[in-house]
Structures are given as structure tokens and as C-alpha cells.
């Protein structure tokens, strides 16, 4: 009884100030926050198809993709993804009961989207959710084969750039593998890479042919992150310091 008397003024104060929110509203806000964070993960300026956006959204924890509309992020209004998320809150003071809800929101993915854009409340669509094929596996980069093809050069010898290019041509690489060769200061650098997704580390292979030494290596993961410059022919000629 004493506890109820102590709580009564606080309840009256909250009601009088108009700040009381129902537990269902709080649970809905929690579900909306999950959708908002999903929008943050999908945000970006890189062009993507609706299939790519939907696939990425379906891999986010706590998110169920129910519908994807649009063609690509850079066409028209971009891609809209309707997601269903869950949220919960507690109802009651003395014996709180958990209230859980499932709500649907529309998340827009476009270069004109705003960071942390508020997802729009929508009715959950009928029908089965879409399915997304797994992304194609990137071609394997031929580490051992490249080492075998790049013949060594004596310490007093001269590196022949055309010979390096012929060695690469003999590998019969997948068309998705991009090659770059550059000569500098008596050395020849080689880059083999496949297109990344703009978020994860890029797959690449570097080589440097110098008088007395031929090296082939994969840069550390941190150097292969977007914007780090590890997957470049310049890094093959003059490697970045190893991360600590």
C-alpha cells in the first residue's frame, strides 16, 4: 500500500504533463529503430540493383523482407524495401508484462536518401516474401599459378615487362579478373583483382618482379578495405607498411 501511495504522485505528474506513452507504442518505436538501423546498413552511393538491395536486407539480423520495388538505386526514386521487424516493451509497474509487436516499415534506398532516414509505417503486404539467389562466387585468383609463371631474373639482369605480360596472358584468366602491369625503376608490378562490393575487403593479388627477387602476395585485410589502396599496382611496386 505504501508503494502505491508513493507511485501515485508520479503517475499523476506524468499524466498531467502528457508524457505517458503506451507500452505498445514503445514496442512499435523499438521495431521502427530496427528498421532504421537496417536503412543505415543499406545506405550508400554505390549503384545496386533491387535484387542486390533485397539480398543485403534479407541478411540483416532481425529483419524480414516482405517486398522489394524499383529497378535499381539510381533509377527514379530508387529501391523501396518493405521489412517486418519486432519490438518489445514492458507494461505495468508492480508486475510488468512484456508487450511484443511485429510491424512493417518501408525503407528507401537511393543516392538521395538521407542518413538515418525515418522508415515509413506501412501495412504488411500479403503473399509470400521474395527469395533471393545467392550472389555469384567471385573467380579464384591464381596465386600458385602466378608464382609459377613469373620466372626469376638474375640480380644483374633486367626485368622484361613484355615477358611479364605474356606470363599473365598464359594464365587464361577469368574475364572478371582485372589485370594491371606497371614498370618502374627496373621493377615490374602486377595487380590481379576482382570487383568488390564497396563494403567488404576486396579480393586481389599482387606481384613484383625485380632483379634477384620475384614476390607474390595478398595484402592484409585492412589494406584491402575500400579506400585503403592496398589493391593497387602502386602497392605492388612500393608496398604499404604492414599493419600493427
Q: How confident is the model at residue 244 (pLDDT cuts 50, 70, 90)?
A: low
Domains of the chain, residue spans: 22-122, 143-237
Residue 131's pLDDT is what? 93
Of 173, 233, 185, the closest CA to residue 207 belongs to: 233
Q: What is the pLDDT of residues 188-212, one digit of tens each?
A: 999 999 988 777 889 999 999 999 9
Residue 242's pLDDT is what? 77
**Average pLDDT of span 118-123:** 96
pLDDT at 91 over 50: yes
Of 195, 181, 224, the closest CA to residue 47 belongs to: 195
pLDDT mean across residues, the chain? 88
Of 76, 58, 77, 75, the closest CA to residue 67 belongs to: 58
SS3 157: coil
Residue 40 phi, psi dihedral angles, 5° rounding: -60, -40
Indicate left, alpha or beta for 154 from its phi (over 0: left) and psi (-120 to 50: alpha): beta
**Average pLDDT of span 117-144:** 92
Helix runs in 160-242, H state only? 161-169, 233-237
Count the alpha carbons within 13 Å of 93 in the hemisphere toward its beta carbon. Answer: 8
**Average pLDDT of span 41-59:** 91
Q: Tell me what percent of the chain is helix, strand and coil, each rounded to the nearest 5.
A: 30, 25, 45
Residue 60's pLDDT is what? 94
pLDDT at 52 over 80: yes
**Average pLDDT of span 73-85:** 96
Residue 234 phi, psi dihedral angles, 5° rounding: -65, -35
Residue 125's pLDDT is what? 95
**Average pLDDT of span 73-102:** 90
Of 121, 35, 116, 107, the closest CA to residue 70 belongs to: 107
Asked if residue 191 lies in contact with residue 133, where contact means CB atoms within 8 angstroms, the answer is no
Residue 67's pLDDT is what? 97
Of 31, 25, 39, 34, the closest CA to residue 103 belongs to: 31
Cα gap 82→102, rounded to integer Å: 13
Q: How confident is the model at residue 20 (pLDDT cuts 50, 70, 90)?
A: low
Q: What is the pLDDT of residues 134-162, one digit of tens each?
A: 887 889 999 999 999 998 899 998 999 99
Task: Output the CA–CA distances (angstroms, integers) from residue 148 to 28, 159, 205, 209, 221, in the order listed.
Answer: 60, 16, 14, 12, 24
Cell numbers of 25, please? 507504442
Residue 10's pLDDT is what? 43
Cell numbers of 74, please? 539510381
Amino acid at each position: 500500500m505504501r508503494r502505491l501511495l508513493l507511485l501515485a504522485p508520479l503517475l499523476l505528474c506524468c499524466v498531467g504533463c502528457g508524457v505517458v506513452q503506451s507500452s505498445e507504442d514503445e514496442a512499435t518505436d523499438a521495431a521502427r529503430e530496427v528498421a532504421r538501423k537496417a536503412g543505415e546498413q543499406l545506405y550508400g552511393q554505390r549503384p545496386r540493383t533491387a535484387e542486390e538491395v533485397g539480398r543485403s536486407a534479407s541478411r540483416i539480423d532481425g529483419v524480414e523482407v516482405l517486398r522489394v520495388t524499383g529497378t535499381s538505386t539510381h533509377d527514379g526514386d530508387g529501391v523501396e524495401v518493405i521489412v517486418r521487424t519486432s519490438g518489445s516493451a514492458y507494461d505495468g509497474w508492480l508486475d510488468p508484462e512484456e508487450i511484443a509487436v511485429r510491424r512493417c516499415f518501408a525503407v528507401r534506398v537511393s543516392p538521395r536518401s538521407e542518413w538515418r532516414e525515418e522508415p515509413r509505417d506501412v501495412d504488411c503486404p500479403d503473399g509470400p516474401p521474395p527469395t533471393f539467389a545467392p550472389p555469384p562466387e567471385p573467380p579464384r585468383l591464381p596465386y600458385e599459378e602466378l608464382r609459377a609463371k613469373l620466372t626469376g631474373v638474375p640480380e644483374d639482369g633486367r626485368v622484361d615487362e613484355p615477358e611479364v605480360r605474356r606470363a599473365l596472358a598464359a594464365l587464361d584468366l577469368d574475364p572478371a579478373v582485372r589485370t594491371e602491369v606497371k614498370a618502374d625503376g627496373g621493377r615490374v608490378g602486377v595487380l590481379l583483382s576482382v570487383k568488390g562490393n564497396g563494403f567488404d575487403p576486396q579480393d586481389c593479388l599482387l606481384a613484383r618482379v625485380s632483379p634477384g627477387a620475384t614476390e607474390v602476395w595478398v595484402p592484409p585485410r585492412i589494406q584491402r578495405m575500400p579506400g585503403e589502396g592496398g589493391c593497387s599496382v602502386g602497392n605492388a611496386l612500393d608496398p604499404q607498411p604492414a599493419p600493427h
